[in-house]
Structure 1
């Protein structure tokens, strides 16, 4: 049976056909042979116009040029006796390309197309090329863009053959989800960054739109938000739903500091997404679901973050070989742990660790940097995941709904360290971990170093503030000494009095009402630059509280005077920090 050389491809209906040529019989065959011989192929199907050049094959003493046709067998040939490939010495050139396998480009400009050239000859080895300039022994070429190309081969006798091929871009399926805010394993996003779902429509028609339906809630809530976004002229729709998700979260603190572990439902949420296409006069009948839930935290990631607006660096994974375990949600390089004050450390309890018994571990570090003693293991969740353990061993629910479903614990959790600290500790290294079936302790968070402050006040006046940091966790700081208390009055309302007897009159005006507001300026001396940088985040925090009474855990919302911050540079990369804030307005009498 003579060799059949594939010289071209074309599509007709939903089938891709190959045009094969036999030099022995100078005939063409179509595979699969499903078309009647009187079939006429359009230029759109053929991909070529009538008489367009396809490729050239070389044989002993002649070359064969192929040209496109729109009628069966969809190719014509011209034989040119030019002596090329003349073997000499009685040998015969029998090199031929038997097939070219093509992997199409996945999307435009992806450069992930490939061709595999199959050739046969009795004079091996065969070399391969796709530009007739550089040659290689491998018959596979990768990293190719869409377009027309020519494959070349040559054997040990310098016999040559060539064949054309076409790489196309794989068509995009109808209504395809092309992107989500997930990054790697993490499906957690920062609320105040773009949270984008990308859809692709098959119809490149102006006015095409996509409807996104967002169902929120950790616990099967039925809170549904619907958003509509328009596709561009290529049918691509960029649906940024971040502004819709902002209705789910608010910077409100409801922790009473009695539990070791607390799920802060106000600053994290889960949601699922489904979408459908719409146009003027109609829309799809069914929704397309995007799969597993996504999650959002009350965070604002900064420019330059490696994962963009995704919270990947802060997401916990049950992985023994994590290169970079999850970070705690704290913007201080070394958070100060005020042991006599309400204080906690925030972290993301992700769906990846649902079902694992998380524990708190750590070590005290003395002034010389040596381990002063172990913190001891504290289990955050019991075996069935339904409750948390308090410091005295009592069980506390961390949410209002029925216990028993570990997924109810997902979100931003706040860790309160309440056990006895190792003696002589200046620092405390803390981390979260679980114990696997073999008894190995597997860390799921970073080892975070805290600076211990056992007696922060020493009986001195102090101001203790907490606020939501950019990464989405609560930050705490205590200002001692350097305080200035002021009282500002404004908006006086006066009424002029009519005086008939100046001798007996007491005034010419009556004060009807006035506004009064206390202002406190607090500061700290000789703090490192990295600490001042974290303190500056209080300026743009949406919620700042001031501790009024530590015994009753009473907090008061305050407003930062954004023009009041002062940082004084001194030697040694340290300086003084000062900031002012307004307390709630004084309740004054009215006339």
Structure 2
């Protein structure tokens, strides 16, 4: 049955209101304008946005009859092109149209709405046809040339496509909605496999609130072992307007560590419980007038060392370069915690070098290995293998004095070896050795030696002082290990007094009086300036860390292992540059205050 009087388009211009329609008459098809019928050239806006030759629409006017309208620049506005073609019965899966229709939707892909009400889902329609162009719609009313629809809310709908012949196809789709996860952890200080952080860098846990409401806060619960009992610290941080909370807990972890040295230098290795600790984190959201949510765990334990990583470090405040990941294909074994390029090993003095014994090494029996290197750079003998750490716990020292116990994930199971360990070289050093290359390793089930740490070269100094005046210092380095150095040079010993308190005396008889004032109290301090000649510039750079070390000791008696805490004069460092990138180094330190009599 023919459709008579169908409106194709309408628009208004200065000539009036136009309804563009087609009528079926005995002489074929015609397009009529309601309004001024004078012939004139229409502008783009007057043409309703169409350009000459644009496809306007295709309508079925009767059984087997199809008419297509294209735009014209002059009167009449539309050109009707009638034709007689068979009508498709829809058996090919399309929704109808002339025979020869081959349009099809081959795939639909969606991106979920990120949260309820976010309206940021997307739909992409992939369709094919031999009769381009293709138009796309998701409401069967508004058609566009782009197959991508954005800003969609979650839910189901129908995708429609049509081509130049008016052939159509449709297919249902669903944009899912990502459910809100209440109190989810979005970031932690872990990098890759490393869960170890430097204490004096930001240690940040990021939480995301399900509802971005101002005033929402997160409580972080930090649990660490102490003398075998669980100690708990809590910290509160506020979320921003998007619901994200940046919880920096570094200042709270500082209560777990202190730069105090309790090593007695009597064993090969010693876990320094003062400068490393493990902790677990739980968090929950809270707000004024509301109820707290349940605690959510951040997972396996995290670890912290008494370190301060510098700007430019590729892993930020994470200790990844110093953490070992054992395996046959390990590319970069863990570094030793020593800031000297070539540390000096003083064989007749208290000395050690630190490394991190991480949770990744648990279960491996570590061994110390190394080679002596002669003055020509050739290997002159092996240091020999020495068993370092056994899982049965027999080799770990200071278990009775440990305070910060580092725990396995399983409750009650302790790995007393985890943390910063200090290694001493006590084996017989090969004769004619000028250097030692030392490293840690384990032997796998196939008998292969697998490196655990880097091979570090040490400079041997067997008679460091040679009877000359010396000062032997140890201090906490930026990477978290203890550093040692002997300064041998003409020394300057000074004593300074400050804060004198005087009392004026009343004198009645000047002839018999001894003075008009009396000193009743004063402060006195000794200062020693020491140094060393002809040291490389890179060695002086490591020595400069004395200036900002939190703890510096001088050796008072090597036989009894007696040390004295000193304060570095921060204005005293001098480096006299000479040729060959070497120079003379000099620094002063202040001894503990002299105990003086008081009047």
Measured in 2, the distance between the counterparts of 1:80 and 1:368 equals 97
Q: Does the residue aligned with 1:246 lie in a helix, a strand or coil?
A: helix
Q: Does the residue aligned with 1:266 lie in a helix, a strand or coil?
A: coil
Following TM superposition, by how much is the alpha carbon of 1:254 offset from its aligned partner in structure 2, in angstroms? 0.4
Measured in 1, the distance between the counterparts of 2:67 and 2:265 equals 91
Measured in 2, the distance between the counterparts of 1:457 and 1:63 equals 105
Q: Which runs of structure 2 are paired with 1:265-280 in the superposition (5 Å)?
A: 265-280=273-288
Counterpart in the other structure of 1:443: 451
Following TM superposition, by how much is the alpha carbon of 1:573 offset from its aligned partner in structure 2, in angstroms? 1.6
Q: Is it true that 1:575 corresponds to 2:583 in the alignment?
A: yes
The one of 295, 299, 302 aligned to 2:307: 299
Q: Which runs of structure 2 are paired with 1:6-405 in the superposition (5 Å)?
A: 62=58, 81=68, 92-104=100-112, 170=178, 172-217=180-225, 220-382=228-390, 384-388=391-395, 396=397, 398-400=399-401
Measured in 2, the distance between the counterparts of 1:372 and 1:508 equals 75
Residues 1:106 and 1:436: Cα distance change in structure 2 (over 3 Å):
farther
CA deviations 1:410-459 (Å, max 9, x no partner) are 11111111111111111111111111111111111111111111110111
Q: Is it true that 1:508 corresponds to 2:524 in the alignment?
A: no
Following TM superposition, by how much is the alpha carbon of 1:222 offset from its aligned partner in structure 2, in angstroms? 1.8
Following TM superposition, by how much is the alpha carbon of 1:101 offset from its aligned partner in structure 2, in angstroms? 2.7
Q: Does the residue aligned with 2:389 lie in a helix, a strand or coil?
A: coil
Q: Is the 8 A contact 2:271 2:398 kept in 1?
A: no
Following TM superposition, by how much is the alpha carbon of 1:216 offset from its aligned partner in structure 2, in angstroms? 1.1
Following TM superposition, by how much is the alpha carbon of 1:514 offset from its aligned partner in structure 2, in angstroms? 2.0
Q: Is the 8 A contact 2:200 2:250 kept in 1?
A: yes
Q: Does the residue aligned with 1:534 lie in a helix, a strand or coil?
A: helix
Counterpart in the other structure of 1:547: 555
Following TM superposition, by how much is the alpha carbon of 1:555 offset from its aligned partner in structure 2, in angstroms? 0.4
Measured in 2, the distance between the counterparts of 1:483 and 1:244 equals 42
Q: Is the 8 A contact 2:270 2:398 kept in 1?
A: no
Residues 1:80 and 1:210: Cα distance change in structure 2 (over 3 Å):
farther
TM-score by length of 2: 0.74
Following TM superposition, by how much is the alpha carbon of 1:381 offset from its aligned partner in structure 2, in angstroms? 1.7
Following TM superposition, by how much is the alpha carbon of 1:134 offset from its aligned partner in structure 2, in angstroms? 12
Counterpart in the other structure of 1:409: 417
Following TM superposition, by how much is the alpha carbon of 1:552 offset from its aligned partner in structure 2, in angstroms? 0.6
Following TM superposition, by how much is the alpha carbon of 1:496 offset from its aligned partner in structure 2, in angstroms? 2.4
Following TM superposition, by how much is the alpha carbon of 1:378 offset from its aligned partner in structure 2, in angstroms? 1.0
Counterpart in the other structure of 1:51: none
Following TM superposition, by how much is the alpha carbon of 1:353 offset from its aligned partner in structure 2, in angstroms? 0.8
Measured in 2, the distance between the counterparts of 1:436 and 1:113 equals 52
Following TM superposition, by how much is the alpha carbon of 1:81 offset from its aligned partner in structure 2, in angstroms? 4.7
TM-score by length of 1: 0.75
Q: How many residues align?
A: 496
Radius of gyration: which is bigger?
Answer: 2
Measured in 1, the distance between the counterparts of 2:581 and 2:377 equals 22
Deviates more, 1:305-314 or 1:216-225: 216-225
Residues 1:102 and 1:419: Cα distance change in structure 2 (over 3 Å):
same
Residues 1:453 and 1:169: Cα distance change in structure 2 (over 3 Å):
farther
CA deviations 1:74-100 (Å, max 9, x no partner) are xxxxx995599x9x9x98231311431
Q: Is it true that 1:517 corresponds to 2:507 in the alignment?
A: no
Following TM superposition, by how much is the alpha carbon of 1:461 offset from its aligned partner in structure 2, in angstroms? 0.7
Q: Does the residue aligned with 1:531 lie in a helix, a strand or coil?
A: helix
Measured in 1, the distance between the counterparts of 2:239 and 2:452 equals 41
CA deviations 1:24-71 (Å, max 9, x no partner) are xxxxxxxxxxxxxxxxxxxxxxxxxxxxxxxxxxx9x9599xxxxxxx
Counterpart in the other structure of 1:36: none
Following TM superposition, by how much is the alpha carbon of 1:498 offset from its aligned partner in structure 2, in angstroms? 2.9
Residues 1:315 and 1:80: Cα distance change in structure 2 (over 3 Å):
farther
